[in-house]
Amino acid sequence: MVPTLNPRPRAGLDRVPAPALFVVSGLTLYLGAAVAVGLFDRLGAPTVSWWRIVLAAVVLLAWRRPWRRAWTRRSLGVAALFGVVLAAMNVAFYVGIDHLPLGVGVAIEFVGPVAVAAVTGRGWRERLAIVVAASGVLLLAGVTLSSGLPREDVIVGLGALLAAAACWAGYIVLGKRVARAGAGSGIDGLAVGMAAGALAFAPFFGSSTAEVVGDPGLLAFLLVVAVCSSVVPYVLDQVVLRRVGTATFAVLLALLPATAVVVGAVVLRQLPTWPELVGLLLVSGAIAMTARS
């Protein structure tokens, strides 16, 4: 069942600290990813990712009905480009975690937000937080990559995750432009973007439609993935992006490797080592440094 969503973001969300919103976002995002991993053998990682975008677009369009809003050619183009980049990020990420553990996948993908924070950050606190967060993420990634994984998995996984990192950087920059449209309209832009992303990749993955639609159980699992990994976290991203700059947003994203490791440990039994826990502490320290901002 799709949870009932309010027609406009609640004013109360603006009073919730941004790090708290990121914790909720990260937990739902990677809980959905953990469910999705179980579907990879059935459909393949890229196809599961595409269905996540398709079903999230359906939910958001039904909720927001963005066609009621007046759109300029420019705002429509930005929203569409945002959605295509978002869809590409998700496809690449799912390919990556099909070859590497969830925690290390998020850690490597975090190169994108770190790059955005390094370019757009201002002040010593943000700059130092970038260094601390990047150190924690590199430790998380390095420990897992030295754990004896097959060479082919490392090469394919790294390539896919670095592509996802580049898309994540684009997602932050474009997402800020979409969010600037004002309360509510940013989520309308997200709905339009999701639809554009789904259409852009339909020629590659649309052949799975008969199989998915003909299996209500499979469709239900994919809907859970879509709501947990796309609708909830990306709506919360739009709420946060209206409140903070791109650099602060990028550093706050350092919470995601930590939540990914937690979800990976609880759901997928991918238990962290002591060095990985040190990496998580560094990431948490970076969040504490930027929490006041």
The residue ranges of every structural domain in the chain are 17-291
pLDDT tens digits, one per residue of 7-47 = 444 456 667 777 788 778 878 887 888 888 889 889 999 99
- C-alpha 57/C-alpha 65 separation (Å) is 11
52, two tokens: 């996540």
Contacts of 7 (CB under 8 A, 6+ apart): 63, 64
DSSP label at 231?
I
Question: Can you give the pLDDT at residue 265?
Answer: 76
Question: Can you give the pLDDT at residue 9?
Answer: 46
Alpha carbon 258 to its chain's center: 14
Q: How far apart are the first and last CA of the chain?
A: 37
pLDDT tens digits, one per residue of 63-88 = 999 988 888 899 999 999 999 999 99
pLDDT tens digits, one per residue of 220-278 = 999 999 999 999 999 988 888 888 777 778 777 766 766 767 777 777 777 777 777 78
Does an H or E element contain 270, and which? none
Yes or no: say if 275 and 44 are a contact pair by the CB < 8 Å rule.
no
> What is the sign, positive or negative, of the torsion defined by CA atoms of 208, 214, 217, 220?
positive
Question: Can you give the pLDDT at residue 257?
Answer: 67
pLDDT band at 89 (very low <50, low <70, confident <90, very high): very high
**Which is nearest to 279 in space by CA: 118, 106, 149, 158?**
106
Q: Which residue has the tokens 């290390």?
A: 104
160, two tokens: 């896919």
Given a cut of 60, is residue 293 above it in pLDDT?
A: no
5, two tokens: 């969503």
Question: Can you give the pLDDT at residue 143?
Answer: 61
Given a cut of 80, is residue 208 above it in pLDDT?
A: yes
155, two tokens: 């090469």
